[in-house]
Amino acid sequence: MRLTPRGGADRIEGVNDAGALAVRVAAAPVGGGANAALLRLLAEDLGVAKGAVRLVAGATGRHKLVAVDGLGAEDLLARWPGLKL
């Protein structure tokens, strides 16, 4: 996943050419604000509880690894075709 903080609005742009999910959030990357906005946006978009989405790696970089409890790879691929898991 590739996160763009201070991106103007919270939105999922889709899967890029590299197979990563491109996401923009309005929050700045200060004090974990952008990461929190990312997790909140993903939970809302996937229809899962906020606690079901957690950041596994990439807390300080633009490239993130996120885990979603309660959804399988098939569910994520159906939602975002072309996503590399």
Please report the pLDDT score of residue 37 as a whole number: 98
Domain boundaries, the chain: 2-79
Q: Contact, 46 vs 79, CB < 8 A?
A: yes
pLDDT tens for the 85 residues of the chain, in order = 999 999 999 999 999 999 999 999 999 999 999 999 999 999 999 999 999 999 999 999 999 999 999 999 999 999 999 999 8
User: Of 16, 17, 12, 15, whose CA–CA distance to 37 is shortest?
Assistant: 12
CA distance linking residue 12 with residue 25, whole number of Å: 9
Please report the pLDDT score of residue 44 as a whole number: 97
CA distance linking residue 49 with residue 43, whole number of Å: 6
**SS3 at position 21:** strand
Query: 2-79: what fold?
Result: Conserved Hypothetical Protein Mth637; Chain: A; (3.30.1200)
